[in-house]
């Protein structure tokens, strides 16, 4: 989850009223914000990516103002008509078709403001922007730009001085040599690449990769241009809206930028209207709220609301991209009303509950194994290839792997429990013997596409262990647990000693294997004490 | 009054009457008891003041490199004598002897003089007297007779000669070994005599009922399995019916049916385990697929791909099981739950596992409300023995409103997150033909188990350390 940093002195100023630190920290969770870290002068707060407006302290302050009833209703967005234009060339149509922009002038940027805006930009890239694939944002020092701008494609030999560099580089060099180039070059597949060029011929941006050095925003920048390029028009507007509100809150004056060119037009940043049925609110929340109470709750969440008969007409600011329909407004009412004010009710059950029949049979297996003196262990189903196949010398041809696991020990789905039990024994060689353990759990086989079965496996390890001992356990489990008789038939397996291993058959069908574990396998696991064991399939046998 | 002694104790004491200072190994040999029994018996006897236990050090000697050489060729002084005998006049210039003896010249001269075998006259060496075996030579032979074993230094009687040889570097190697000896005390001697007098087997012998007994371990179910069982019982007691389902699922039921767009970050490989090169042949009914497709198009404005929905994943939550059941069965009213393994492609740490157990409950009904959802939570927590709980708003892609429950961890003295919950979004229920509201909640069971067993590292639940499994009390 993304994180926003809140300095208490800044938040205090932004709220416009003195609010104690305790009040702020105890209120934040009721905006859906989790406090991750608290220090003497600031806190770090996790916010959900569906609320990109919380990516700056400006947005959080706007939310706090509502819930603390300092300011209610929708915050206004004032955009003056600007005089500059960007023309999108038809050549970008197949690569990254959309561009929108806004100007922010007469602002002051201190270091913390710049930091807030840069982290907002990064969070938007990752969230709405889907790691820049869908949307990317460029911010520029407006005073370095000669309008109009052209958004077009160029050859990869096109040269300019990118951010964080002193020398001009070609687009190819940027993609191959710079950090952001390497991270995002997969987003540019075509031969030509998109750039934004100004009237003086200067390249100001190479979306979605990097801006130019020329237009770098510093603490001296007073006037900004924000451009958003995208593969999805409404996502571009979402991102631009979030940035526009934040910059307005930071003290900038906003002006529109005309957008020309095929498929492109001026961004729509105005608020949306949505009707909310009061009955839906009361049905879902289990309350009996009056319409004015609902209106107030909505306003506390910085929406506008007006009563229209039995319905409420809501006005939703453009940055609230998380609101899809009336049900989202119900939650807004709940938050405004206060989750902590909702009394609990316990609905009565109409019928008795019931365990699954698989669970009941499995409990019987586990109880019987414990009765036979076996300790239950629990391993993972997603395991390492080494223990599952290499060390147990088994054939890995039917192996099922997962893609891109972060851990060596969790790469494949187990098709058998026994290797895990031998591994468990090997991790406990310093503990007292005899060691008798069992495990029940799911194993996986390739079959249209995957067949999952529940297995039971057990092992006994001590100096006098024998095939006979473990066969007694098997017989007793099946007989006293389920009145099932089994037979054992001479067989072979790399896990077990030849001549001391057998297939387990019930009604002539193989349900598992039993035997004394091969000394070579035990040696691979650095085990010094002999062990015997069996594994049976329970699916199809007892459920 | 005489004490009651265990047969092991009696055997040890009787043996100690014969030889007063012995090692445990010697005792084991004499009494035919195992070394563990001897050690245990000695501990008991020591505690009762009947024996004393001492840690001693014993010195052992073996031939060094030069010692072995001397065994073959004789000591340097013997070699010098041999040389003098071999030349015609049995005498020679000092320089001549020096050439012959090389480095060994000085010790050879000194010791031969000490043995009165030679005299030095005007820089010539003259052979004198008898040349019997010296005490040093005898010691070398004695030690060699035990070879390759070292010989206890105290078994050599001629201490003077041993010291003299010890001073000559390289001839002897000394090593020392620590060992335990047991001595019988006076009180022990009395007890031993008493004990040997009782020999009537027809009477059931009294035993030391106060003596500690050996430890045995009860076989039992896994502590985490116990918590899972407890959670299940509570759900059943609240009127819920259990569902089971597969761990491997198509993306359709794990994500698409829950209105999670196909480009959502949670669906990326770095968070979700995709099964390599595997897609489901059929994922849902044509109607279900069509409705879900339309919902994604309208809600998220993108081209929904069936092939993406076919990709097999390890389920990231058990919601895929409940949603499918609700979609297939169209209940008017139901209370369902499921417990099972879920998988997340994370780095394993004290906080995170890649595979863990999740419980999930749903309630379907015409008039179920958010307050009901909260009430059911409180009822569940009360039954689990959790006293303090509260709710905070949160976000999940498939529920609205969404809450998370926070419970108070007494040991850590802070609030910790437990379950996530909410009411399924209409974008989830409507396309699948579910008409009534569905309350849903769920969370990791390991988190509850960690609270129960006071663990700070979630990995301990899957370490299968017998020391922990055998010792952790069944009833917490």
CA distance A148 to B307: 44
Task: Write out residues 285-344 of B within 8 Å (CB-CB) of A.
Answer: 299, 301-302, 312, 314, 333, 335, 341, 343
Query: How far is the alpha carbon of A53 from chain B, nearest alpha carbon, in Å?
Result: 14
Q: How far is CA B76 from CA B122, B129, B297, in A?
A: 22, 18, 104
Q: Are residues B387 and B268 in the same domain?
A: yes
Candidates B270, B427, B466; nearest CB to A428: B466
Residue B305 belongs to domain spanning: 223-471
Looking at the structure, tell me whether residues B134 and B242 fall in a common domain.
Answer: no
Cα distances (angstroms) measured from residue A398 to each of A395, A442, A456, A512, B89: 8, 16, 20, 17, 93
Co-location of B370 and B263 in the same domain? yes
Q: Does A327 touch chain B (CB under 8 A)?
A: yes
Residue B416 and residue B271 share a domain:
yes
For A:435-474, CB contacts with B below 8 A are 435-437, 442, 444, 448-450, 452
Asked if B236 reaches chain A (Cβ–Cβ under 8 Å), the answer is yes
All structural domains of chain A with their residue ranges = 3-67, 79-260, 272-340, 357-537
A378 part of contact set with chain B, CB < 8 Å: yes
> Average pLDDT, stretch B71-90?
83
Contact A377 B469 (CB under 8 A): yes
Average pLDDT for runs of 10 along chain A of length 543? 94 93 95 93 94 96 96 95 95 94 93 93 94 96 96 96 94 95 94 96 96 94 96 94 96 96 90 96 96 97 96 96 96 96 92 95 97 98 95 93 93 97 96 96 94 98 95 96 95 94 96 96 94 97 94
Chain B residues lying within 8 Å of A432, measured CB to CB: 215, 217, 466
Could you tell me if B47 lies within 8 Å of chain A, comparing CB atoms?
no
Contacts of B217 in chain A (CB under 8 A): 375, 432
**Count of structural domains within chain B:** 3
Whole-number Å distance between alpha carbons of A289 and B87: 130
Q: What is the DSSP string of B205-229?
A: ----TTSPPPP-------HHHHHHH
Considering the domain architecture, whether residues B326 and B416 belong to the same structural domain is answered as yes
Cβ atoms A84, A199 nearer than 8 A:
no
DSSP string for residues in A299-351 = HHTT-EEEEETTEEEEEE-TT-TT--SHHHHHHHHHHHH-GGGPPP--PPPSS
Task: Provide the pLDDT confidence category of residue B2 given band limits of 50, 70 and 90.
Answer: low
Q: Any idea what the CATH number is for the domain that residue B36 is in?
A: 1.10.10
- The count of other CB atoms within 10 Å of the CB of residue A465 is 22
pLDDT at B201: 53
Q: Residue B438 to residues B166, B366, B434: CA-CA distances in angstroms?
A: 92, 9, 9
Instruction: Report the range out of A404-413, B41-50, B100-109 with the highest average pLDDT.
Output: A404-413
Please check whether residues B29 and B160 belong to one and the same domain. Answer: no
Q: Which of residues 390-449 of B touch A (CB under 8 A)?
A: 390-395, 397, 400-403, 423, 425-427, 437
Residues from chain A contacting residue B368 (CB–CB below 8 Å): 347
CATH of the structural domain A3-67, one choice from 3.40.1130.10, 3.20.20.10, 2.60.120.10, 3.30.56.10? 3.30.56.10
pLDDT value of position B195: 64
Read off φ and ψ for residue B140, nearest 5 degrees: -60, -40
In angstroms, how far apart are the furthest CA atoms of chain A? 93
Q: What is the pLDDT of residues B367-394, one digit of tens each?
A: 999 999 999 999 999 999 988 999 999 9
CATH number attached to the domain at A272-340: 3.30.56.10
Residue, of B175 and B256, whose pLDDT is higher: B256
Q: Say yes or no to pLDDT of B202 above 80.
A: no
- Helix, strand, coil percent content, chain B, rounded in steps of 5: 45, 25, 35
Distance CA A80, CA A105 (A): 11
ipTM over 0.90: yes
* Residues B272 and B308: beta-carbon distance below 8 Å: no
- What's the confidence (pLDDT) of residue B203? 56
The verdict on B93 and B162 lying in the same domain is: yes
* Residues B22/B33, Cβ–Cβ less than 8 Å: no
Looking at the structure, tell me whether residues B281 and B135 fall in a common domain.
no
Residue B285 has pLDDT above 60, yes or no: yes
The number of C-alpha atoms within 13 Å of A308 and in the hemisphere containing its C-beta is 13
Residue of B139, B82, B152 whose CA lies nearest to B112 = B82
Q: Within a 10 A sphere around the Cβ of A311, how many other Cβ atoms?
A: 16
Angstrom distance (rounded) from CA B96 to CA B82: 14
Classify residue B469 by burial, with Cβ atoms within 10 Å: 0-12, 13-18, 19+: buried
Count CB pairs under 8 A between chains A and B. Answer: 247
Nearest to A45 by CA among A69, A62, A17, A26: A26
Indicate the fold that domain A357-537 takes in CATH.
BirA Bifunctional Protein; domain 2 (3.30.930)
Backbone φ and ψ for A237, nearest 5 degrees, come out as: -65, -40
Spatial separation of the C-alpha atoms in residues B474 and B450, rounded to whole Å: 14
B contacts of A400 (beta carbons < 8 Å): 275-276, 278
Q: Is residue B432 part of a domain?
A: yes
Contact A349 B335 (CB under 8 A): yes
Half-sphere exposure of A359 (CA within 13 A, CB side): 20
If you average pLDDT over each of A90-94, A266-270, B113-117, B252-256, which comes out highest? Answer: B252-256
Chain A residues whose CB is inside 8 A of the B437 CB are 283-284
CATH classification number, A79-260, choose in 1.20.1250.20, 3.50.40.10, 3.40.50.850, 1.20.120.420? 3.50.40.10
Which of A33, A133, A347, A361 to probe by mutation at the B interface, max B CB count within 10 Å?
Answer: A347
């Amino acid at each position: 989850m993304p994180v926003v940093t809140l300095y208490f002195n800044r938040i205090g100023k932004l709220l416009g009223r003195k609010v104690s630190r305790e009040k702020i920290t105890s209120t934040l969770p009721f905006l859906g914000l989790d406090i991750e870290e608290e220090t003497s002068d600031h806190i770090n707060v996790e916010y959900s990516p569906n609320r990109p407006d919380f990516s700056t302290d400006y947005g959080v302050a706007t939310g706090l103002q509502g819930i603390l009833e300092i300011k209610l209703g929708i915050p206004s967005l004032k955009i003056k008509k600007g005089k500059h234009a960007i023309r999108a060339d038809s050549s970008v149509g197949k690569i990254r078709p959309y561009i929108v922009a806004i100007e922010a002038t007469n602002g002051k940027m201190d270091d913390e403001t710049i930091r807030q805006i840069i982290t907002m930009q990064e969070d938007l890239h990752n969230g709405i922007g889907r790691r820049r694939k869908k949307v990317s944002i460029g911010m520029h020092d407006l005073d370095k730009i000669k309008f109009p701008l052209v958004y077009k494609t160029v050859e990869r030999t096109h040269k300019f001085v990118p951010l964080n560099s002193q020398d001009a580089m070609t687009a190819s060099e940027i993609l191959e040599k710079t950090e952001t180039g390497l991270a995002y070059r997969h987003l540019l597949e075509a031969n030509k690449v998109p750039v934004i060029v100004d009237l003086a011929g200067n390249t100001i941006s190479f979306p979605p990769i990097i801006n130019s050095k020329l237009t770098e925003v510093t603490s001296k920048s007073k006037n900004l241009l924000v451009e958003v390029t995208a593969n999805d028009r409404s996502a571009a507007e979402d991102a631009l809206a979030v940035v526009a509100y934040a910059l307005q809150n930071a003290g900038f004056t906003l002006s529109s930028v005309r957008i020309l060119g095929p498929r492109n037009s001026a961004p729509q940043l105005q608020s949306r209207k949505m009707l909310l049925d009061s009955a839906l609110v009361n049905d879902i929340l289990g309350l009996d709220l009056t319409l004015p109470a609902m209106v107030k709750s909505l306003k506390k969440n910085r929406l506008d609301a007006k009563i229209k008969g039995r319905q409420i007409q809501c006005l939703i600011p453009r940055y609230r991209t998380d609101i899809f329909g009336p049900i989202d407004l119900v939650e807004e009412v709940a938050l405004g009303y206060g989750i902590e004010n909702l009394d609990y009710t316990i609905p009565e059950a109409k019928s008795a509950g019931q365990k699954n029949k698989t669970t009941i049979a499995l409990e019987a297996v586990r109880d019987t194994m414990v009765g036979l003196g076996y300790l239950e262990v629990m391993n993972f189903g997603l395991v390492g290839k080494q223990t599952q196949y290499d060390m147990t010398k088994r054939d890995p041809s039917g192996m099922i792997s997962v893609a891109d696991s972060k851990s060596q020990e969790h790469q494949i789905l187990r098709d058998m429990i026994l290797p895990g039990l031998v591994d468990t024994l090997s991790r406990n060689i310093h503990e007292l013997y005899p060691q008798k353990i069992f495990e029940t759990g799911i194993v996986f086989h390739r079959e249209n596409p995957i067949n999952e079965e529940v297995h039971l496996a057990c092992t006994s390890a001590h100096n006098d262990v024998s095939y006979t001992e473990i066969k007694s356990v098997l017989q007793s489990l099946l007989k006293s647990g389920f009145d099932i008789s089994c037979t054992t038939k001479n067989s072979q397996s790399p896990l077990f000693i030849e001549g001391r291993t057998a297939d387990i058959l019930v009604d002539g069908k193989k349900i598992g294997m039993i035997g004394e574990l091969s000394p070579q396998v035990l040696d691979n696991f650095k085990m010094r004490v002999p062990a015997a064991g069996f594994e049976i399939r329970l699916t199809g046998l007892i459920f | 009054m005489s004490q009651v002694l265990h047969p092991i104790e009696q055997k040890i004491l009787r043996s100690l009457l014969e030889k007063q200072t012995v090692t445990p190994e010697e005792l084991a040999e004499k009494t035919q008891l195992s070394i563990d029994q001897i050690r245990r018996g000695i501990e008991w006897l020591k505690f009762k003041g009947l024996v004393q236990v001492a840690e001693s050090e014993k010195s052992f000697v073996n031939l060094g490199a030069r010692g072995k050489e001397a065994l073959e060729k004789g000591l340097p002084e013997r070699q010098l004598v041999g040389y003098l005998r071999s030349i015609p006049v049995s005498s020679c210039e000092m320089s001549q002897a020096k050439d012959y003896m090389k480095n060994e010249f000085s010790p050879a001269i000194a010791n031969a003089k000490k043995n009165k075998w030679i005299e030095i006259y005007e820089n010539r060496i003259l052979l004198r007297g008898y040349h019997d075996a010296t005490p040093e030579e005898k010691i070398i032979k004695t030690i060699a007779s035990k070879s390759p074993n070292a010989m206890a230094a105290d078994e050599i009687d001629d201490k003077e000669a041993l010291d003299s040889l010890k001073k000559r570097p390289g001839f002897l190697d000394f090593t020392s070994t620590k060992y335990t000896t047991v001595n019988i005390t006076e009180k022990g001697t009395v007890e031993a005599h008493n004990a040997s007098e009782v020999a009537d087997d027809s009477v059931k012998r009294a035993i030391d009922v106060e003596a500690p007994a050996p430890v045995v371990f009860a076989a039992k179910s896994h502590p985490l399995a116990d918590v899972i069982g407890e959670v299940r019982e509570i759900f059943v007691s609240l009127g819920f019916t259990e569902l089971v389902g597969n761990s491997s699922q198509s993306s359709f039921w794990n994500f698409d049916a829950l209105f999670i767009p196909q480009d959502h970050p949670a669906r990326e490989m770095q968070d979700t385990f995709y099964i390599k090169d595997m897609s489901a042949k059929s994922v849902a009914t044509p109607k279900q697929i069509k409705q879900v497709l339309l919902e994604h198009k309208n809600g998220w404005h993108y081209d929904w791909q069936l092939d993406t929905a076919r990709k097999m994943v390890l389920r990231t939550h058990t919601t895929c099981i409940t949603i499918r059941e609700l979609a297939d069965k169209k209940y008017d009213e139901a209370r369902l739950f499921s417990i099972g393994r879920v998988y997340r492609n994370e780095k394993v740490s004290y906080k995170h596992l890649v595979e863990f157990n999740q419980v999930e409950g749903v309630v379907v009904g015409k008039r179920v409300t958010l307050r009901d959802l909260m009430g059911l939570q409180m009822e569940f927590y009360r039954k689990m023995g959790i006293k303090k709980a509260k709710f905070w708003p949160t976000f999940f892609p498939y529920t609205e409103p969404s809450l998370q429950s926070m419970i108070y961890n007494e040991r850590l003295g802070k609030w910790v997150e437990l379950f996530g919950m909410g009411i399924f979004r209409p974008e989830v229920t409507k396309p699948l033909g579910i008409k009534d509201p569905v309350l849903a909640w769920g969370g990791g069971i390991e988190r509850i188990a960690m609270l129960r067993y006071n663990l700070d590292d979630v990995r301990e639940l899957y370490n299968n350390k017998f020391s922990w499994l055998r010792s952790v009390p069944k009833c917490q």
